[in-house]
Amino acid sequence: MRRIKVVTALALFLLMASSGVAWATTVLRFTTDELADRADVVLHGQCVAARTRETRDGVVTDYDVRVIESLKGGAGAAFSFTTYGGVTETRGTFIPGAPTITQDEELLLFLDAPNKAGCRLLIGMAQGKFTVKTTEDGRKLASRNLEGLSFLDPATGEAAEAKPEQAVPLDDLLARIRARIAAAAGKGR
């Protein structure tokens, strides 16, 4: 019976996804500096575990990250956090514009403080997660998947769909973030 429910739910999801319905969340566009300023925790790491579970408010996902570098917030060698969304055997919660985090993925995260339910959100939805890939020549590049996001223009009040971004060298991105966090600490933020 459970298998039938899962297959039915998956079929319904695929039907909706292929129907041409645009699922998007409208947010303000944040620069990397703004992401760093707003974040409670900024870390570069690798997701080593992702577990979904049901709560009375919906499905959440618990992540464990092996920390490569803690840039803000004092994460140790390991960091765990919970976000809204995910799929269990019987339920699923989908949040348009939220990033997908997969096990074994190297990433750079900008997380807010936990809310009353113990969940953390990524700053600016998918803007708060960079995926790190290593090129054939050994360089590390960071990129974001902004699919499902629209950016609000505060001057006009109009929303425009997020455009794909070009990957940037990870070392350059990390240096910029370190400098911003150091400057903010020097100003007593």
Q: Is a pLDDT exceeding 70 seen at residue 100?
A: yes
**CATH 3.30.70.640, domain 23-186, yes or no:** no
Q: Is a pLDDT exceeding 70 seen at residue 23?
A: no
Q: Model-level pTM? A: 0.85
Residues 6+ apart with CB under 8 A from 140: 106, 132, 133, 134, 169, 170, 171
Residue pLDDT, tens place only, 80-94 = 999 999 999 999 988
Domain ranges of the chain: 23-186
Residues 6+ apart with CB under 8 A from 112: 38, 39, 40, 120, 121, 122, 123
